[in-house]
């Protein structure tokens, strides 16, 4: 505050007057030296809680000078990620391929319709006088149709009906122009180890295990991408807050520069103005860097989302997050978190499935150690008529005569069974290896959950400490600002007070940045904890679904189920993943 006084008329110096100031009519006018004036304001030294989150409303407004802008909340950006991300689409296709393998292996037990037809003519030199000619000439048409089916215990059933038209120039060919029919049924059944359902469905079971592994890998990749998108969302929010805080710091610095410029030649010297200008220049430089960081973070978020509209509009688009941080006061229990992680973590489930696959290999190789012994049974009915009368032969095959039957055993065993024994030992080694892999996956899950839990608790505590630090920094700046405004120029003392004020302004902005960074880290650490526990998709209400007429997998998001382990979102459910490009608007 500047105090200005006037000189009396006549040029008398009131500073050396001998008049008694109490004498009536005396000259009471006095020039007060501003440099000698010291006014100590009544400042409450106790720390009070000022409104520290002043940027809360401004962060949802435009902060960049670009022609377009788009607003979105967290659930909207997650929906667009599920719909547009090439990475999520790729891993879902991989899982769909694994599901198709199950159908292919299960189709091996479907019935197969067989049909073949052969038209032939032979002309061979006669090898005996029974032919009655120099060459034996025969013409034939054979048509065969039937069904073959493989059972789930190794049984192979083949049912076929054969029609044959045959003509020959042999003298003993009777009847002529023959029409033959033959209905045959054959059955083969393994009797030893290869006759069980486990062995014969081994490829189907392995396909199911591979699909389960692929499904868990898909879940892991999707959870990682969702966690990256959430972290990028809050990082963008953090950087936008940093830019607003830097703008406010720059504004306060320019205000001081304007005051010093107005005081120049009165109670402010050139050194004070140079200091203020130097700080303002440094703050402008920092603003340029923060603006670039915001744009780079927008590009990263657009890349993670994978939307073509967002990627094409980069450079001319400002992405404005609408959601504000919510910080529930949560208490986590390490034991419960580890149990949930072991139960739900995709990596643990995939390792357990690998162990199950190794156990299947042991069962299969154990069955292959036994000799291969198959029971084979064949039976048939046949009919024969002349004049190509296959229809009468078809009747005769069931009405005349009796079935022909043959049965036998087929035995096979390699000498020494060295290959089978080696495969069995290999399967045991693989089982032990998969056991160690599962144990390591559990240990890594526990370590990651414990680390994530420590990070969450640390970030939670930093929420409070950074807030207290910010409050003290704001009060420090207030006190130094009021003191500087109340002081006149007394040389070095004013320069020191100004330097302290500029430092206090920087400390306040640094404290604001650290507080908003702690908020962003806290939200990201919650998401990382949920991912470590394998519950992130459930908490976000994200579920993979298959098409009704196929195995194509898509991801949908229902209402978020975030509960006691992390309430991260407060925005409304967005109805469509196309909301982001549809919100594109021209700046006025």
Mean pLDDT of 9-32: 36
pLDDT band per the 50, 70, 90 thresholds, residue 235? very high
Q: Residue 28 has which token pair? A: 């009471």
Task: Check pLDDT > 90 for residue 37.
Answer: no
Whether 31 is in a domain gets the answer no
Under a CB-based contact definition with an 8 Å cutoff, are residues 80 and 307 in contact? yes
Under a CB-based contact definition with an 8 Å cutoff, are residues 375 and 188 in contact? yes
Determine the Cα–Cα distance for residues 217 and 224; give it in Å rounded to an integer.
Answer: 11
Of 107-116, 215-224, 496-505, give the lowest mean pLDDT range: 496-505
Angle at 60 between CA 56 and CA 65, to 5 degrees: 125
Q: Are residues 488 and 544 in the same domain?
A: yes
Determine the Cα–Cα distance for residues 321 and 559; give it in Å rounded to an integer.
Answer: 20
Task: Check pLDDT > 60 for residue 576.
Answer: no
Q: Are residues 452 and 531 in the same domain?
A: yes
Whether 36 is in a domain gets the answer no
- Closest of 321, 228, 295, 250 to residue 516, by C-alpha: 321
Q: Is 478 helix (H, G, I), strand (E, B) or coil?
A: helix
Mean pLDDT of 556-571: 46
Q: Are residues 412 and 437 in the same domain?
A: no
Q: Are residues 167 and 148 in the same domain?
A: yes
In three-state form (DSSP H/G/I as H, E/B as E, the rest C), the secondary structure along 442-459 is HHHHHHHHHHHHHHHHHH
E strand or H helix that includes residue 125: strand 112-125
Per-residue pLDDT at 493? 59
Task: Check pLDDT > 50 for residue 295.
Answer: yes
Per-residue pLDDT at 184? 94
Among candidate residues 416, 446, 469, the one where a domain is terminated: 416
Alpha helices in 12-52 (DSSP H): none
Whether 16 is in a domain gets the answer no
Q: Are residues 292 and 218 in the same domain?
A: yes
- Closest of 463, 478, 479, 583 to residue 522, by C-alpha: 463
pLDDT band per the 50, 70, 90 thresholds, residue 447? very high
pLDDT band per the 50, 70, 90 thresholds, residue 556? confident
Mean pLDDT of 300-322: 86
pLDDT tens digits for 45-60? 444 445 678 888 889 8
Query: Beta strand pairing status for 317-321 and 372-385?
Result: unpaired
Q: Is 104 helix (H, G, I), strand (E, B) or coil?
A: helix
Determine the Cα–Cα distance for residues 102 and 97; give it in Å rounded to an integer.
Answer: 9
Angle at 525 between CA 524 and CA 530, to 5 degrees: 100
- DSSP for 338-386 reads HHHHHHH-HHHHHHHHHHHHHHHHHHHHHHHHS-EEEEEEEEEEEEEES
> φ, ψ for residue 317 (rounded to 5)?
-130, 135
Whether 426 is in a domain gets the answer no
More reliable by pLDDT, 326 or 495: 326
Determine the Cα–Cα distance for residues 242 and 233; give it in Å rounded to an integer.
Answer: 14
Q: Are residues 490 and 545 in the same domain?
A: yes
- Closest of 219, 235, 301 to residue 540, by C-alpha: 219
Integer angstrom CA distances of residue 98 from 103, 206, 515, 545 = 9, 11, 47, 15
| Residue that the structure tokens 């001319």 belong to | 316
pTM: 0.76
φ/ψ bin of 496: left (φ > 0), alpha (ψ from -120 to 50), beta (otherwise) = alpha
Determine the Cα–Cα distance for residues 557 and 573; give it in Å rounded to an integer.
Answer: 9
Per-residue pLDDT at 265? 67
- DSSP for 81-95 reads HHHH-HHHHHHHHHH
Per-residue pLDDT at 406? 94
Whether 84 is in a domain gets the answer yes
pLDDT tens digits for 364-377? 999 999 898 999 99
Integer angstrom CA distances of residue 370 from 190, 198, 364 = 11, 15, 11
Q: Are residues 410 and 455 in the same domain?
A: no
Whether 391 is in a domain gets the answer yes
Q: Are residues 142 and 182 in the same domain?
A: yes
| Sheet bearing 317-321, strands edge to edge | 317-321, 68-72, 585-586
Q: At what angle do helices 334-344 and 346-369 cross, to 10 degrees?
A: 50
Under a CB-based contact definition with an 8 Å cutoff, are residues 569 and 75 in contact? yes
Under a CB-based contact definition with an 8 Å cutoff, are residues 441 and 348 in contact? yes
Whether 141 is in a domain gets the answer yes
Mean pLDDT of 81-96: 91
Whether 470 is in a domain gets the answer yes
At 337, which CATH number?
1.20.1600.10
CA pseudo-torsion sign 234, 66, 573, 81: negative
Q: Are residues 224 and 87 in the same domain?
A: yes
Q: Are residues 118 and 155 in the same domain?
A: yes
Mean pLDDT of 249-272: 81
Query: Beta strand pairing status for 317-321 and 68-72?
Result: parallel
| Domain range for 259 | 58-101+204-355+433-586
Q: Are residues 441 and 557 in the same domain?
A: yes
Task: Check pLDDT > 60 for residue 194.
Answer: yes
Task: Check pLDDT > 50 for residue 14.
Answer: no
Q: Which residues, other chains included, contact 234 with Cβ-Cβ below 8 Å and sequence gap of 6+?
A: 325, 519, 520, 523, 524
Report the domain count for the chain.
2
φ/ψ bin of 398: left (φ > 0), alpha (ψ from -120 to 50), beta (otherwise) = alpha
E strand or H helix that includes residue 468: helix 418-486
More reliable by pLDDT, 558 or 500: 500
Q: Are residues 89 and 225 in the same domain?
A: yes
């Amino acid at each position: 505050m500047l105090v200005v006084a006037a000189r009396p008329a006549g040029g008398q110096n009131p500073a050396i007057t001998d008049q008694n100031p109490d004498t009536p009519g005396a000259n009471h006018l006095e020039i007060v030296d501003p440099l000698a004036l010291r006014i100590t304001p009544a400042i409450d030294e106790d720390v009070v809680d000022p409104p520290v989150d002043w940027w809360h409303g401004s962060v949802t407004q435009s902060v960049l000078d670009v022609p377009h802008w788009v607003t979105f909340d967290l659930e909207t950006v997650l929906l667009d990620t599920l719909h547009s991300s090439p990475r999520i689409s790729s891993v879902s296709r991989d899982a769909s391929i694994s599901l198709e393998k199950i159908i292919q292996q299960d189709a091996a037990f479907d019935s197969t319709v067989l049909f073949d037809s052969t038209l032939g003519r032979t002309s061979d030199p006669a090898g005996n006088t029974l032919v009655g000619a120099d060459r034996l000439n025969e013409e034939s048409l054979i048509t065969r149709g039937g069904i073959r089916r493989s059972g789930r215990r190794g049984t192979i059933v083949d049912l076929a009906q054969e029609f044959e038209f045959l003509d020959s120039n042999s003298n003993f060919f009777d009847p002529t122009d023959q029409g033959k029919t033959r209905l045959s049924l054959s059955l083969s059944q393994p009797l030893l180890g290869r006759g069980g359902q486990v062995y014969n469905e081994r490829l189907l079971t392995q396909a199911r295990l591979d699909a389960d592994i692929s499904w868990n890998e898909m879940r892991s990749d999707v959870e990682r991408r969702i966690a990256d998108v959430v972290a990028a969302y809050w990082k963008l929010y953090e950087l936008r807050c940093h830019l607003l805080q830097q703008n406010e710091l720059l504004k306060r610095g320019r205000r001081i520069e304007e005051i010093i410029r107005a005081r120049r030649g009165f109670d402010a010297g050139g050194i004070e103005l140079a200091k203020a200008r130097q700080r303002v220049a440094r703050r402008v430089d920092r603003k340029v860097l923060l603006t670039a960081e915001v744009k780079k973070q927008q590009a990263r978020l657009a890349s993670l989302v994978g939307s073509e509209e967002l990627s094409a509009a980069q450079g001319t688009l400002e992405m404005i997050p609408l959601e504000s941080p919510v910080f529930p006061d949560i208490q986590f229990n390490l034991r419960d978190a580890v149990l949930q992680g072991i139960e739900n973590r995709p990596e643990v489930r995939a390792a357990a499935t690998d162990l199950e696959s190794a156990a299947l290999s042991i069962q299969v190789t154990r069955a292959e150690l036994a000799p291969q012994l198959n029971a084979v049974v064949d039976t048939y009915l046949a009919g024969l008529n002349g004049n190509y009368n296959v229809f009468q032969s078809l009747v005769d095959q069931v009405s005349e005569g009796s079935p022909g039957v043959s049965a036998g055993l087929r035995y096979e065993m390699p000498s020494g069974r060295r290959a089978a024994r080696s495969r069995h030992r290999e399967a045991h080694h693989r089982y032990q290896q998969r056991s160690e892999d599962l144990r390591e996956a559990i240990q890594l899950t526990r370590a990651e959950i414990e680390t994530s839990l420590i990070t969450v608790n640390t970030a939670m505590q930093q929420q409070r400490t950074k807030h207290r630090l910010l409050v003290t920094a704001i009060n420090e700046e207030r006190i130094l600002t009021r003191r500087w405004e109340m002081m006149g120029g007394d040389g070095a003392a004013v320069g020191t007070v100004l330097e302290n004020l500029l430092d206090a302004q920087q400390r306040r902005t640094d404290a604001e940045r650290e507080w908003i960074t702690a908020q962003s880290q806290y939200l990201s650490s919650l998401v990382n904890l949920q991912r470590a526990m394998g519950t992130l998709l459930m908490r976000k209400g994200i579920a993979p679904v298959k098409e009704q007429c196929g195995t194509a997998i898509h991801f949908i998001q229902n209402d978020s189920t975030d509960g006691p382990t992390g309430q991260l979102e407060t925005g409304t459910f967005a109805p469509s993943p196309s909301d982001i490009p549809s919100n594109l608007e021209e700046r006025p």
